Amino acid sequence: MSFRLATLVALVPACALATPDDAPFANPARLNTVRPAAVEANWTRMKMPDGGRTAFASLSYLMAYDDDWGFGPGFYGTAKGNYGGIFTVGFTGQRRWRLSGNTHLAASLYVGAGGGLSSQQMRFGGGLMLRPELSLRTENKGWYTGVGIAQIRFPSGNVKSGVGVAFTVGRSMDFISFSPDDAGQPGRAGRRSGLGFDEITLTGGMEKPRGSSRTRGGTPYAGKVGKAGAELRQYIAEGSWWGVEASGAAKGGVDGYMEVLGQIGQDWALFGSPRLRVGGQLGAGLGGGGNIDSGNGWLLRAGPTLRWITPWGPSLRLDAGVTHAPSGAYTAPYVRAALSMPLDRTPTLIGDDPGGTVRVQQLGASVMHLPRVRFKDGREEGVSHLAVNMSREFSPRFYGTAQAGSAAAGSAGAYSFGLFGVGVQSDPLWGRMRVGAEWLVGAAGGGGVKVGGGAVTQAEVWAQWQVAERLRLRAGVGQFRTIRGSDQSTPLSHLQLSYAFGTLQR
């Protein structure tokens, strides 16, 4: 499949059907665009500067820009050898050429930032990572597999692979959306819009490592680990879901620890109430850093979950269970609380779809500069970050937002962060401009940056320009600091380019 762009202004009449009895939907917003998209994973082997061998596993979401080009966010993490905890977050651009009915050639470039496990032998420099790839793919019923050549390099450090073999597996899908200009209008879709997730969740909790847990130096780990993170979840049927979750250390002296997992789960109505549900979930993914011995990086997680769906839309959840690193020395029971905000829901037939309100969602890339970052060795210098960001309006003036990124320039390679929060914004000024402010909290660490236990906060004021119907350019200034104590406090400047699209709030 090459990226074939289709505009459905006139091709989705079912989503806009209305009758005189459909009072709020007499003139509903129509689905504006359907673009091909894909979820793509790859595996790249490499030799590290200290002589060991590892492999980077990745997961990326790619959306068509036009008939041949696609772009989207993704992450890479080590999944082999004793290198668990090396992560990067960034964006991939991809060009495809159709060779036959079921084959295509793809050239990709991933630009990200991160690192981990730095030493005298293994240096990530400022943290910038580049990964070019050329691969041949074969397609079959929406799935495709490929083999090609790729190279991973951190230009300002000494971590660099030779040109080697890379393997790819992907799943083709659609990205459907409304025009962002339809914000606030009623609409119907009959299918999920935007990124296709039903809810976003903020999580916070504690882990208590068992006596067998060790640091990477082999000493017993004592104490608790506090974590903060976020999830995206899609419901396959009532009570059945799959999703992705990411979190980092926010307390416990293991700043720099990060994990990204996929999850599946099921819950059932408790005491006959469809709003109170009990069940279980399983997760698997990558994690490490913060001097925790996660071996090659693979993590497994399992445990029960209790969920209450409030009458107002959000859900409250309590999870428990065990996190285990099969090839490392880390096993920890955990408990965490979660607050979920609805984004969409399981599709229904058009005739049964009560519809919803179009809200603007944005997916973008950010560059942030922090001029006075304090390091654990006492020095202070400027650091620049590269981040993936996502925001979603809950009303015309109020929105939720999240960021995940890493250091890309300076000397803080391996420093990473994840933040989530809320913001307020004005109505459009002079047609194409808005101003606003936001406040975020989350976890950060690594790269020798002084962040205490890892809990951090960021506040910002900003101005945004609408460059085109779906492109937004934003500039902001603010302050970044640790939540506890004065380990870190620095001003920041922020430049962000986002792709805006309309999704349904039901």
Task: Summarize the confidence of residues 262-269 as an average pLDDT.
Answer: 96
Strands 330-342 and 273-288: unpaired
Of 416-420, 423-427, 485-489, where does mean pLDDT reach its minimum? 485-489
In tens, the pLDDT along 157-166 reads 999 998 999 9
356-505 and 13-177 share a CATH fold: yes
Quick one: pLDDT band at residue 24, thresholds 50, 70, 90? very low
Q: How many CB atoms lie within 10 A of CB 342?
A: 17
In tens, the pLDDT along 277-289 reads 999 999 999 999 9
Residues whose CB is less than 8 angstroms from the CB of residue 141 and which lie 6 or more positions away in sequence, other chains included = none
Quick one: pLDDT band at residue 349, thresholds 50, 70, 90? low
Tell me which CATH code domain 356-505 carries.
Answer: 2.40.160.20
The topology (CATH level 3) of 197-342 is Porin (2.40.160)
More confident residue, 20 or 406: 406
pLDDT computed for residue 190 by the predictor: 75
Q: How many CB atoms lie within 10 A of CB 443?
A: 29
More confident residue, 147 or 115: 147
Number of H helices, E strands in the chain: 0, 25
pLDDT computed for residue 48 by the predictor: 92
pLDDT computed for residue 356 by the predictor: 81
Domain boundaries, the chain: 13-177, 197-342, 356-505
Here the tokens at position 110 are 């991933």
pLDDT computed for residue 347 by the predictor: 63
**Residues 266, 239 contacting (CB under 8 angstroms):** yes
Task: Summarize the confidence of residues 299-319 as an average pLDDT.
Answer: 95
pLDDT computed for residue 240 by the predictor: 96
Of 28-32, 36-40, 202-206, 431-435, where does mean pLDDT reach its minimum? 28-32
Here the tokens at position 177 are 């959306």
Q: For residues 218 and 291, give the distance between their C-alpha atoms in angstroms, rounded to a whole number.
A: 10
The topology (CATH level 3) of 13-177 is Porin (2.40.160)
CA angle 276, 266, 296 (to 5 degrees): 130
pLDDT computed for residue 487 by the predictor: 84
pLDDT computed for residue 260 by the predictor: 94
**Residues 248, 443 contacting (CB under 8 angstroms):** yes
Instruction: Tell me: pLDDT of 20 over 70.
Output: no
pLDDT computed for residue 17 by the predictor: 32
Here the tokens at position 386 are 């590269």
Q: For residues 302 and 319, give the distance between their C-alpha atoms in angstroms, rounded to a whole number.
A: 10
Residues whose CB is less than 8 angstroms from the CB of residue 108 and which lie 6 or more positions away in sequence, other chains included = 92, 93, 94, 95, 131, 132, 133, 134, 135
Q: For residues 309 and 18, give the distance between their C-alpha atoms in angstroms, rounded to a whole number.
A: 30
Task: Summarize the confidence of residues 124-148 as an average pLDDT.
Answer: 95
More confident residue, 31 or 215: 215
By percentage, how much of the chain surpasses pLDDT 90? 68
Averaged confidence pLDDT in the chain:
89
pTM over 0.85: yes
